[in-house]
Amino acid sequence: MKKKLFLLSSILLLLSTILWVKDMFEPESKQYKVEYYELQRNAVKKKLQNTNGEEEIAELEAKLAKLQKPKYEIKQILLKGDYSWADQTNGQKTDRCMTCHIDEAKLTASHETVVKDFPFDIYGCTVCHGGTGRALDEEHAHHGIFKHKRAMRQRLDHADVIIDMWEEFATLSLEDDAEWASFKNRTITGEKAIYMGSGKCMRCHTGLTAPHVERWKRVKFESFNVIKEAPDYIKGDVEYRKQCYECHTTGYNKETGTYEEEGITCEACHGPGEVFAYFMDIGKATEGQKIAKITPAYNNCGGTEGCHRSRRHEMRAKFFRNSKEHDPYEWYQPKYKRIVSEALEKRKSATGKVIDSTLPKHNIKFVR
């Protein structure tokens, strides 16, 4: 009896050892790759049967030969974050999800509405999905993942989540740092954020923050009308005028040469409103406020990139200097007084009321 028990337990031990060793050399992730390569091979074989062209056949046969001897390796992305990338260490920023989620065509297709042309190989998956990037078995990898569409959407109800994601993207993409750093210009999927137009903002803010809206409506909103009367703008060709749009319109797109609105409207300073106006719309204004703020990191006013940088009118100075018809210093004369008084004049004649011409005081505060 004792002998039999001993024999049985020995066999059990041996079996479990064999299973353990097999597991060591054949990790769970391999099974998905075996399936993947099987599918790929079948697809190529099917194509081969329906192909006649000699060249195409040779190409497909070469592809098939490669697929017959697949490499079952760990697909690992060392995310180009600030610390782990620099010294190639496997920190938290190692993302191995694609070891199992190996089918890039399938990923691209299933993410079409979420992340168009998203470079998975740079950003990985955990930045959006959560989970444990380093793990190679499903249970650990999926631990803490945001399951299903609804969970992902719920996460997007809070500005902090979006801001964190933006900030992570910014640290993960050192190459186009500058672009991601001004994260308001992007949605979390990397696409350019949409400008909603000042009409959208004013629907709420004319009542909410009247002095601020009044101030800019009278001055900056109108400024493009002055530009249109400038002699150099009138004489200038398309290319010359494009130089003006950068600072005198809202949402100018250098690539397409088009702008969203004339003049400096709300979103010229506060950034495209797609995300924050959405929050304000769904009754989560406190979340929207976090994004709408003008911060040192997002500030179009001055600096080397802002509108009020020095020498911004050098093309105009050149035009007037070279022109015989115009006062060489015309470009230097501020004309805002005129627009304001004209606007007030118009209102006075329309309403019959005298309006206080002093502008409401602008209380600039920068909040981080």
Tokens of 106: 């399938």
**CA dihedral sign of residues 299, 300, 304, 305:** positive
Which amino acid does the sequence have at 268?
Answer: A
For residue 176, give the amino acid letter. D
Closest approach of Cβ 154 to ligand HEC, in Å? 11
Tokens of 113: 């509405």
For the chain, the farthest-separated pair of C-alpha atoms sits apart, in whole angstroms, at 118
- Give, as ranges, the residues between 290 and 329 that touch ligand HEC (CB under 6 A): 292-294, 307-309, 312-313, 315-316
Residues 185-244 that bind ligand HEC (CB under 6 A): 188-189, 196, 198, 200-205, 208-209, 212-213, 216, 220, 226-227, 230, 232-233, 240, 243-244
**In whole angstroms, how large is the CA radius of gyration of the chain?**
31
The mark string for 333-362 relative to ligand HEC (x by CB under 6 A, - otherwise) is: -xx---------------------------
CB of 311 to ligand HEC, least distance (A): 9
Q: How far apart are CA 167 and CA 182, in angstroms?
A: 10
What stretches of the chain show up as alpha helix (H) in DSSP?
A: 2-25, 28-49, 54-68, 104-110, 120-123, 126-129, 138-141, 148-155, 159-172, 177-181, 198-208, 210-218, 223-229, 231-235, 238-248, 266-270, 274-281, 285-292, 314-322, 336-351
Shortest distance in whole angstroms from residue 53 CB to ligand HEC: 34
Q: Choose between 2 and 337: whose C-beta lies nearer to ligand HEC.
A: 337
Site for ligand HEC in 169-188 (CB under 6 A): 188
Q: Is 162 in the site for ligand HEC (CB under 6 A)?
A: no
CB of 15 to ligand HEC, least distance (A): 24
- Residues from 8 through 37 that contact ligand HEC (CB under 6 A): 28-29, 32
Cβ proximity to ligand HEC: between 292 and 343 the closer is 292
Nearer to ligand HEC by C-beta: 47 or 118?
118
Contacting ligand HEC within 80-119 (CB under 6 A):
97-101, 107, 110-111, 113-115, 118
Q: 257-260 long-range contacts, Cβ below 8 Å, gap at least 24?
A: 260/195, 260/197
Considering only 93, 184, 218, 248, the residue that binds ligand HEC (CB under 6 A) is 248
Part in contact with ligand HEC (CB under 6 A); list of ranges 4-12, 36-44, 84-92, 145-153: 145-153
Residues 259-288 contacting ligand HEC, CB under 6 A: 264-270, 273, 277, 280-281, 285, 288
Cβ proximity to ligand HEC: between 53 and 207 the closer is: 207
Nearer residue to ligand HEC within complex by CB, 60 or 194: 194
Q: Are 264 and 245 in contact (CB under 8 A)?
A: no
Identify which of residues 100 and 170 has a Cβ nearer to ligand HEC in the complex.
100
Contact string (CB under 6 A) for ligand HEC, positions 48-87, x = contact: ----------------------------------------
Tell me how far apart the alpha carbons of residues 117 and 108 are, in angstroms, rounded to a whole number: 8
178 phi and psi angles, rounded to 5 deg: -60, -40
Helix (H, G, I), strand (E, B) or coil at 51: coil
CB of 134 to ligand HEC, least distance (A): 8
Q: Least distance in Å: CB of 354 to ligand HEC? A: 24
Closest CB 85 distance from ligand HEC, rounded Å: 17
Q: Which two tokens stand for residue 264?
A: 């400096």
Give the interface size with ligand HEC as a residue count (CB under 6 A).
Answer: 92
Residues 123-142 that bind ligand HEC (CB under 6 A): 123-129, 131-133, 136-138, 141-142
Q: Using CA atoms, how far apart are residues 93 and 79, in angstroms rounded to an integer?
A: 5
Minimum distance from residue 207 beta carbon to ligand HEC (Å): 9
CA 284, 286, 292 angle in degrees (round to 5)? 105
Nearest partner of 362 among 261, 250, 217, judged by Cα: 217
Burial code of 354-368, b = ≥16 C-beta within 10 A, e = fewer? eeeeeeeeeeeeeee
